Amino acid sequence: MTMLLAATTSTEQGGISEETWRRLSDAAWAARNHAHVIGNTRVGAAVFAASGNVYAGCNVEHRFRSHDVHAEINALATMVAAGEGPAVAILVASERERFTPCGACLDWIFELGGQAMLVAFEPAPGGERQTWRAEELMPFYPR
Ligand SMILES: [Zn+2]
């Protein structure tokens, strides 16, 4: 299997300090504990807004699965409800080997953060973080 994307694990990415990544990690894993799931994939997400504030969300699943709210959208919508934006970075927390936001979540990432927004994934609290820019995950996204 070929890795199509070169994930990075550097400590300073796009002006995001390691301390900020830790804040995002803590918030995302804490929110994940509150996930309302029908299946067995709990996901947490935390957004770093341009103001410096952090907004968290978890997945909220419904028995009518089309109503499911993904953690990334939950966190981004919470930022909007607080009157903030744009989003600078989002960290997604889930106990999976690999995870990138789905197409719908990436639509919101492009809408509220733009193509350069950082998208990170952690497979465990404080685990090895993988980070991409939104444009790396959807290189042909309409501009
Ligand atoms: Zn999604």
Helix (H) / strand (E) element for 49: namely strand 44-49
Residue 14 pLDDT: 63
Distance CA 71, CA 121 (A): 12
Domains and CATH numbers, the chain: 18-131 (3.40.140.10)
Strand partners of residue 130: 121
Question: What is the torsional sign of CA 117, 97, 41, 137?
Answer: positive
What's the mean pLDDT in 3-12? 46
- Kindly give the distance from the C-alpha atom of residue 108 to the centroid of ligand 1, in angstroms, as a whole number: 9
Q: Ligand 1 centroid vs 1 CA: distance in angstroms?
A: 24
Whether pTM > 0.85 for this model: the answer is yes
Those residues whose beta carbon sits under 5 angstroms from the ion ligand 1 are 70, 102, 105
Indicate the range of 8-17, 58-67, 96-105, 121-130 predicted with least confidence. 8-17
Residue 110 is encoded by which pair of tokens?
């492009």
Say if residue 75 is exposed, middle or buried (CB neighbours under 10 Å; 0-12, 13-18, 19+): buried
For residue 14, report the distance from its CA to the centre of ligand 1, in Å. Answer: 23
81-138 per-position pLDDT tens digit? 999 999 999 999 999 999 999 999 999 999 999 999 999 999 999 999 999 999 999 9
CA 126 to ligand 1 center in whole angstroms: 22
